[in-house]
Amino acid sequence: NAGVTQTPKFQVLKTGQSMTLQCAQDMNHNSMYWYRQDPGMGLRLIYYSASEGTTDKGEVPNGYNVSRLNKREFSLRLESAAPSQTSVYFCASEFGGAEETQYFGPGTRLLVL
Amino acid sequence: QKEVEQNSGPLSVPEGAIASLNCTYSDRGSQSFFWYRQYSGKSPELIMFIYSNGDKEDGRFTAQLNKASQYVSLLIRDSQPSDSATYLCAVWNSNYKLTFGKGTLLTVNP
């Protein structure tokens, strides 16, 4: 039981390049989330998927797109990376419903030059 | 904007002491409250959750909730150097969004 997994662990991009961050969970959770964490800013929600087939914007969605591929997988895409997107990205999942606990993946460190 | 406020610290305590971490929130309709621990370079991991007013104890950790004052705290008894980390307070708001505070850095000195 791996919990929440993320790939890659670390990535360097040049401005304007695109990439997709992958997230998968094996806990049969319904809801999945993408956060970014920056020094002094805390965790900020980018996008979330309350259930398979649905996605919604969070606090900071600009510059990102998401796909809920199936119940297990939720990907985050940067179409044209910018230095402001340098951050640590965390995927999280929860069973869903009434204010459940969220479980986090190990994170992806992204550096945009 | 639903706010969750924490003192950024650093909070420094000697080994064996009680560490007290505090959090206030702005949404009076919030019902569920969580404390996560995050070691440097790692992901947040759940320590405790609390739903009802009062205290909830789990080993060396005690969460305290006062909904009237919109205040939640985490006490760590017999603090150990391994407790040195950033502690994140998280609150489920009445609009069903989990909002995190910016975290308090705790350092336990041997």
Residues A20 and A28: their CA atoms lie apart, in Å, by 23
Report the mean per-residue pLDDT for chain A: 94
Best B43, B50, B102 member to test A by mutation, with max A CBs in 10 Å, is: B43
A62 contacts: CB under 8 Å, gap ≥ 6:
none
Which of B43, B92, B100 faces A99 most closely, judged by CB atoms?
B92
* Number of Cα atoms under 13 Å in the Cβ half of residue A66: 26
A1 contacts: CB under 8 Å, gap ≥ 6:
A26, A27
Residues B42 and A90: their CA atoms lie apart, in Å, by 10
pLDDT band, residue A40 (cuts 50/70/90): confident
Convert the pLDDT of each residue in B35-71 to its tens digit: 999 999 999 999 999 999 999 999 999 999 999 999 9
Whether residue B33 contacts residue B51, with contact meaning beta carbons closer than 8 Å, is answered with yes
Q: What is the pLDDT of residue B7?
A: 86
Convert the pLDDT of each residue in A46-91 to its tens digit: 999 999 989 999 999 999 999 998 999 999 999 999 999 999 999 9
Which of A42, A43, A101 faces B49 most closely, judged by CB atoms?
A101
CB contact under 8 A, B43 and A45: no
Which of B31, B44, B92 faces A104 most closely, judged by CB atoms?
B44
For chain B, say whether A97 makes contact (Cβ under 8 Å).
no
Q: What integer is the mean pLDDT of B92-97?
A: 79
